[in-house]
Structure 1
Amino acid sequence: MKEIERKFLVTSEAFKELAFKKTRIVQGFLNTHPERTVRVRIKGTEGFITVKGIGNETGASRFEWEKQITVSEAEALLEICEPGTIDKIRYEVKATNHIFEVDEFFGENQGLTVAEVELHEEQEKVKIPCWIGKEVTGETKYYNSQLSKQPFKTWNDEN
């Protein structure tokens, strides 16, 4: 129940040609408290509810619990979520021994593309593909829970 991942900005669309899977995701948040978030997600034809805890000092590791629910349950829960829905397409791209999940955002977060790679341990070595840019692991403004409240299109140079 521990998630270890690194997060990066994406600098080009080259990943799309390499993707072996593409899935639409719509999600909302029942709770966006920084110490615990509760997410409701429809991923393709499946529904999920997820609880995430606060990240460690690097932001790479945190508690995560996820349970599959029906799409109709997810749709009902999305109706009572906090304002701000995340709409994105997730591309899965294999790069050496890792799979990068690349999220291309739409709606109020259009223009933002972020890649995440899950790790077995925090110090694990990762070969970074050429379409990856700045690392943003631990930068809370890139958390989906925060993007639902302060979307990418509202950012200015100070954000």
Structure 2
Amino acid sequence: MIEIERKFLVTSLHFKQEAFKKARIIQGFLNTHKERTVRVRIKADNGFITVKGQSKEDGLSRFEWEKEIPKDEAEALLKLCEPGVIDKIRYEIKVGNHTFEVDEFYGDNEGLIIAEVELESENETFLKPNWIGGEVTGNIKYYNSQLSKNPYNTW
């Protein structure tokens, strides 16, 4: 239940041509405390509730628990969330032995595109595709919970 991931800015739209899967995601946060966040998400036709713990100082890993819930329950919970819903399309791209998840944001975060790769260990090596830019792992302003409160179009 420990999530290890690295995040990067995306420098071009070439990832779209490489994607093997995409889905729209709508998500909100019931709690955005720095020690824990509780997220409600609808991804395609599925609902999820997720609890994340505080990130380590370097931002590479943190506790994560997720449970699939019925879509109608997720829709009801979204109505209870804090202001600032996240709207994005997630693309999945296979690069070497890893799958990158690339989020293209809409609404108040339009123009922001972030790629994430989940790792088995903090020191694991991975291939970086040519559309990857600067690393933003551990930079809290790029966390979805923060983008819901301080969206990209206000920076």
Same fold (TM over 0.5): yes
- After TM superposition, give the deviation of residue 57 of structure 1 in Å: 1.7
Aligned to 2:93: 93
Aligned to 1:109: 109
Aligned to 1:2: 2
Aligned to 1:70: 70
| Counterpart AA for 1:53 | G
Gaps of 5+ in 2: none
1:1-150 maps to which residues of 2 (within 5 A)? 1-150=1-150
* Superposition TM-score, scaled by structure 2 size: 0.99
- After TM superposition, give the deviation of residue 74 of structure 1 in Å: 0.2
For residues 92 and 114 of structure 1, the distance between their equivalents in structure 2, rounded to whole angstroms, comes to 12
* Superposition TM-score, scaled by structure 1 size: 0.97
For residues 47 and 19 of structure 1, the distance between their equivalents in structure 2, rounded to whole angstroms, comes to 23
For residues 125 and 2 of structure 2, the distance between their equivalents in structure 1, rounded to whole angstroms, comes to 18
Q: What is the root-mean-square deviation in Å for CA atoms of aligned residues?
A: 0.4
For residues 34 and 128 of structure 2, the distance between their equivalents in structure 1, rounded to whole angstroms, comes to 29
| Counterpart AA for 2:120 | H
- After TM superposition, give the deviation of residue 58 of structure 1 in Å: 1.0
For residues 77 and 15 of structure 1, the distance between their equivalents in structure 2, rounded to whole angstroms, comes to 32
Deviations 1:85-140 (A, max 9, x none): 00000000000110000000000000000000000000000111100000000000
Gaps of 5+ in 1: none
For residues 5 and 47 of structure 2, the distance between their equivalents in structure 1, rounded to whole angstroms, comes to 22
| % identity of equivalent residues | 70
For residues 98 and 65 of structure 1, the distance between their equivalents in structure 2, rounded to whole angstroms, comes to 21
For residues 44 and 120 of structure 1, the distance between their equivalents in structure 2, rounded to whole angstroms, comes to 26
- Deviation beyond 4 Å, 4+ runs, structure 1: none
Number of aligned residue pairs: give it: 155
Deviations 1:37-85 (A, max 9, x none): 0000000010000000001121010000000000000000000100000
- After TM superposition, give the deviation of residue 152 of structure 1 in Å: 0.1
